[in-house]
Amino acid sequence: MSVSDTTASVTEKPSHAGPHRWGFGIDVGGSGVKGGVVDLGTGHLIGDRFKLPTPQRATPEALADTIREVVKHFQWDAPLGVTYPGVVSGGVARTAAHLDKSWIGVNAQEVISAELGGQPVTLLNDADAAGLAEVQFGAGKDNDGVIVLLTFGTGIGSAVIHNGVLLPNTEFGHIEVGGIEAERRGATSVKERHAWSYKRWAPEVTKVLVAIENAISPDLFIAGGGVSRKGDKWIPLLKNRTPVVAAALQNTAGIVGAAAASAP
């Protein structure tokens, strides 16, 4: 099964012609592997986003296969960016909090590139990709200083960006806050599991934000992930010091950030 969820469509093979360069990004999530062609001047998607379900047992081989299908859909044959929901250094996956543990220690960047017949791949953390996209094109666009983007979903992802430069792999979702791992306290999955209201959930998110601001005093938090679409329902309930704004790009941030990261 596949899902195309925008209205415009790509009718021709993507090229690099036009006022801006184009890039290609793939966002690997717990439920879907989503790809799209990105206008690197505006951060907008060109045509449809295309999504395939994440394989049940998401091993490197199984996921690389799904990624190949998504790339094939667009006939994209140039460098591309791919997100990974864990720590990535030098193309190697170092953690796999929500994926098959067989990823750990694998040079996923090479595995995916080999599956694509040698196409150059840039692999980066999913929240880092979303952070880059929001700072370049979205809610952090006109803000210099230290920006922390948090993605609320199955876990909590984080990106720290200072004057447009990313400090990769911050992993604030795994810091301990009041004796509980931050993502076990404030992820959207926790809210859903307990059927909490926004009012019940917001104090947990506040505790996570306060722990981060006590450590690195950011100038702005950007709240990402699906729940950012309802930001007006819960962001006003937060009681931390630093301003919090909802992400602007929402479900395309990972794709856009991955494409931007892969552009030379």
Count residues binding ligand BGC (CB under 6 A).
17
| Contact mark string toward ligand BGC, 207..246, x via CB under 6 A | ----------------------------------------
Q: Of 173 and 231, which has the nearer Cβ to ligand BGC?
A: 173
251 contributes a contact to ligand BGC by CB under 6 A: no
Beta bridge partners of residue 25, listed in sequence order: 36, 81
Mark the segment that binds ligand BGC (CB under 6 A) among 13-21, 84-92, 210-218, 241-249.
84-92
Residue 173: CB minimum distance to ligand BGC, A: 5
CB 128, min distance to ligand BGC, A: 8
Task: Looking at residues 125 to 154 of the shown chain, list those that interact with ligand BGC (rule: CB under 6 A).
Answer: 125-127, 151, 153
Q: How far is the CB of 156 from ligand BGC (least distance, A)?
A: 6
Q: Please, what is the minimum distance in Å from the beta carbon of residue 130 to ligand BGC?
A: 9
Closest CB 179 distance from ligand BGC, rounded Å: 18
What's the chain look like in SS3?
Answer: CCEECCCCCCCCCCCCCCCCCEEEEEEECCCEEEEEEEECCCCCEEEEEEEEECCCCCCHHHHHHHHHHHHHHHCCCCCEEEEECCCEECCEECCCCCCCHHHCCCEHHHHHHHHCCCCCEEEEEHHHHHHHHHHHHCCCCCCCCEEEEEEECCCEEEEEEECCEEECCCCHHHCEECCEEHHHHHCHHHHHHCCCCHHHHHHHHHHHHHHHHHHHCCCEEEEECHHHHHHHHHHHHCCCCCCEEECCCHHHHHHHHHHHHHCC
Binding mask 171-200 for ligand BGC (x = CB under 6 A): x-xx--------x-----------------
CB of 218 vs ligand BGC, minimal distance in Å: 17
Binding residues among 155-174 for ligand BGC as defined by CB under 6 A? 155, 157, 171, 173-174
Task: Determine the Cα–Cα distance for residues 203 and 183; give it in Å rounded to an integer.
Answer: 13
Site for ligand BGC in 31-50 (CB under 6 A): none
Greatest Cα-to-Cα distance within the chain, rounded to the nearest angstrom: 54
Instruction: Return residues touching ligand BGC (CB under 6 A).
Output: 85-87, 95, 97-98, 125-127, 151, 153, 155, 157, 171, 173-174, 183
